Structure 1
């Protein structure tokens, strides 16, 4: 008898009142689900990268990290609302089990979103396969922050920095007398 993997359910989005960018992962990992936190695997570089870009510590408590993203106009969600998967790899998700989140109402509720950043190829592939609609936003795939993506951290950071640069808060300038 074959045992089917359990049906996994994603999280509600991290979102404030006027986000400018939406970061989309594919589905939460086993560790993320256990911790009830986006990017809960300590080896995932998401919090390290966003902390470096928005000047917070990747080890800050989860509510402080999410508040920092919201303060910088960054929302976080996953493409999949539910799926079956053994383990954490995106390649292990059963295609027939994938149910996407409802993006139409989300984009209507948050019309300030101008850019969607896919956290890796699986998120982009599944969004394009499962989500229909004509959304007036820019879509960009970035290297996955997952530890399964073996790209060096510095290269991941550079790609994410370039994608988020226009959305970063400007540094205060000091005036010279």
Structure 2
């Protein structure tokens, strides 16, 4: 199946950019980042941002991140994939981060959510990795497929990137 990602959730005040790989089936159907109910992304963000809970409303979830100057996008702009597993992704087209960083120059931290996000970002953005004004963090996935990472372990790993 051909998959096309979403536009970034970002504004001019964002200093941190969190990148997934490509939205899974549930997310694509609902047109929402991290829509699968078992994905721990939204609860993890609420915890790290000292929010009481992740809002139920999707637009409020995005606003929660933006109010903390955190943008959301994906390393992959389009690909072919059957199902939701990153291991099934083929024929990748990476997103254009050079253009994004030109439009949003306050980005100083880029966090990759999981191995496929990190692998894709590194593959298509070799020149950006040499920038010394941006910190890059390659973090464990919040996906339910990464069940060996408990929430407290994810929070420990992610906290250094979100609160350097």
TM-score, normalised to structure 2, is 0.92
Aligned: 1:57 with 2:57: no
Picking from 145, 155, 158, the partner of 2:153 is 155
Determine if contact 2:9/2:71 at 8 Å carries over to the other structure: yes
Cα separation, 2, equivalents of 1:32 and 1:129: 24
Match for residue 31 of structure 2? Answer: 36
List alignment gaps of at least 5 residues for structure 1. Answer: 1-5, 167-177
Q: Is the 8 A contact 1:104 1:133 kept in 2?
A: no
101, 112, 121: which one aligns with 2:115: 121
Structure 1 segments, 4+ long, off by >4 Å, are none
1:8 to 3, 15, 23: 3
**2:84 corresponds to which residue?**
88
Matched, 1:104 2:102: no
1:59 deviates by 4.3
Q: Distance in 2 between matches of 1:127 and 1:165?
A: 22
Whether the aligned pair in 1 keeps the contact of 2:12 and 2:104 (CA below 8 Å) is yes
Return the index of the structure with the highest Cα Rg.
Answer: 1
Give the Å deviation of 1:34. 0.7
> Cα deviation per residue 1:74-110 (whole Å; 9 max; x = unaligned)?
001001110000100000011xx10011111100111
Question: Structure 2 unaligned runs (5+)?
Answer: none
Whether the 8 Å CA contact 1:24–1:117 is kept in 2: the answer is yes
**Pairs aligned (count):** 159
CA distance in 2 between counterparts of 1:83 and 1:131 reads: 17
Q: Alignment RMSD, CA only?
A: 1.2
What's the secondary structure of 1:98's corresponding residue? strand
Contact 1:8–1:82 under 8 Å retained in 2: yes
Does residue 1:27 correspond to 2:22, yes or no? yes
The 8 Å contact of residues 10 and 27 in structure 1, kept in 2 or not, is answered as yes
Query: Over residues 25-70 of structure 1, what are the superposed CA-to-partner deviations in whole Å (9 max), with x where a residue is unaligned?
Result: 1100101001110001110000000011220522420111101100
